[in-house]
Structure formats: C-alpha cells, structure tokens
Amino acid sequence: MASDALTSTDYISHHLQNWTYGLHPQNGWSFAHSAAEAKAMGFWAIHVDTMLWSILLGLAFIFFFHREARKATAGVPSGMQNFVEMVVEFIDTSVRGSFTSKNKLVPPMALTVFVWIFLMNFMDLIPVDWLPWVAGQVGANVFGVDPHHVYFKVVSTTDPNATIGMALTVFALMIFFSIKVKGIGGFVGELTLHPFHSHNMAVQVFLIPFNLFLELVSLISKPISLALRLFGNMYAGEMIFILIAIMFSAGMLLAAVTGLSMDTILGGLLTLGGALLHMGWAIFHILVITLQAFIFMTLTIVYMDMAHSDH
C-alpha cells in the first residue's frame, strides 16, 4: 500500500484508520470508506477489525489451552503442554505474590488478561502491509471496493476502545468485590474517611468532601491509566513500524527513479537496511508486547487485592 499513489500522510492515516461500521447520516448503516465517514458515524460505530481480531485471538487462546488441559498427562509432557504449564505456573506465582486474599476468579482472570493481551500485542510483529494488503485485494476482487478505501488494523490494542473496554471490566469487578467484601458502608467509608482522619466528629465531617475528592480521583485514575498505558505503548510501536515501512518504500522509489533496479548495490543496501531496521525494532518490540501484557495483568491483580482488603 505504500506506493506513489499515496503520500506519507495518506499512508499513515490509512494504516491507523479502523474498519468501521455504523449509522451514517446520509448512507445509513454501512461501512465507512473514509476517515470522515467513520467520524460522522459517531460514538456507537463498531470497529469491525478490532472486534474480529480480539475475538479470534481470544477463541484461539481458549481452544489451545483447553485442548492441552484435556490432553495433559503425568508423564513426559509435549512441547505445547510444557509451554502451557510454564505459563500457568508463571501466572500462579504472580497471583500468589500480589493477591493476599482468596478468590477463585482471580487466577483464571489473570491468565486470560495476560495471554489475551499478549496475543493481541503479538499481531504488531506481523509486517504492517501484509494483512491490510490481503484485505485490500479481497475488497477489490470480491466486493469491487477501491483498496484505498479498505481499512484493516490488526493490532486490537492500538484501538483505545479495546483497552478502555478491558480496563472498565477490571474496574467494574474491582467495585463489585469492594462492595461484596466490605459492604456498602465500608466502601463508602473508604471513600470518605481516608486519607485524612480525625477523632473529632465535627472535624471528620468537615474532612469528608476533601477525602471524597481525593479518593474519587484515585479511583477513577485506575482504569484510565490502565487503558491508556497499554494503548499508548502499542500505538507508538505500531507507528514506528509504519515509519520504517515508509522509509523503506521511499528508498525503493529512489532506486526506481534513478534507473537502478533492485538487484544493484543500492537496491541491495536499501533492502538489507530496511530488513535490519525492521528486524531490530521487532526484536526489541517482543520485550514491549510482553511487558505491557505483564503490567496490565499485575495491576489487575493488585487492584483486585485492594478491593478485597478490608481496613
């Protein structure tokens, strides 16, 4: 898609635009063919590519882990069983180290969060043009749509809708267990009687609005930071891959306009340079995608521990 038909700005915008379906003021229920149409569809538009990849990767996680759980033996484990056991043991150790209460929901939730986010992040290691190009060819040859109007983002965590949705789910569970463990009175008391406290009743009543303000800011910041941290890091990583693709494409265009074929020294150097640059960032990005999944999981466990802690 990085061709001379698109400017660098168009190329970046195309790769960062989601495949959107919604109610357009003029076109009715339809797929957006431009960023302007997607914007006009408003808040309730669906990012189809985000939904597609997040659901597919979630189902893949369930399928492989369930299959290995059913096939598990006490003898010499297979390679996949050994990998699954290693991941489960890692999650179990993390939960035991950060969660001090008892709740059978927390370990499987931590496992789901870590593996699911890791799989969605892992899609960032697939070259940025491959799957969008395939989607463009399908749109052109099957549905007769201009490939430039086919949008297909494959990294769900670069969409704030996905990260905010996951963060709000964790937040809702945190509120639910806070009320379940501490009761409504205990939950309200945590919001109004801390951090400032006084044995004088009149002073304590005076301090309630200040405590409530500080605790609400702290409470609301948890899902916001959880969502935006994951989104920001993955979005930045995707942007760097796109910029590398632009640099490589610009080098190929330079070789073409100067009359040099790609089998010349210049063409070979450009190819080698682009491949090394992409490979170097991809190797580093393996650490990023794993770390972001681990941070999201760890904070989820910590927030659940805070919800179960009755002061």
Cβ-contact 148, 5 below 8 angstroms: yes
pLDDT digits (tens, 9 = 90+) for 59-81: 999 999 999 888 887 777 778 88
Q: Are 153 and 50 in contact (CB under 8 A)?
A: yes
pLDDT tens-digit readout, 296-305: 999 999 999 9
Q: What single letter denotes the amino acid at residue 144?
A: G
Give Cα separations from 100 to 95, 107, 302, 308, 310 (angstroms): 8, 12, 9, 8, 11
Residue 96 has which token pair? 């035991």
Confidence at residue 219, expressed as pLDDT on a 0 to 100 scale: 94
- Please identify every residue annotated as catalytic: 225, 229, 233
Tens-digit pLDDT profile for residues 3-19: 445 678 888 888 999 99
Which amino acid, residue 265? Answer: I
Question: Which range in 198-207, 226-235, 249-258 is most confidently predicted, on average pLDDT?
Answer: 226-235
Coil, strand, or helix at residue 240? helix
Residue 242: how many other CB atoms lie within 10 Å: 19
Q: pLDDT of 99-110, one tens digit each? A: 999 999 999 999
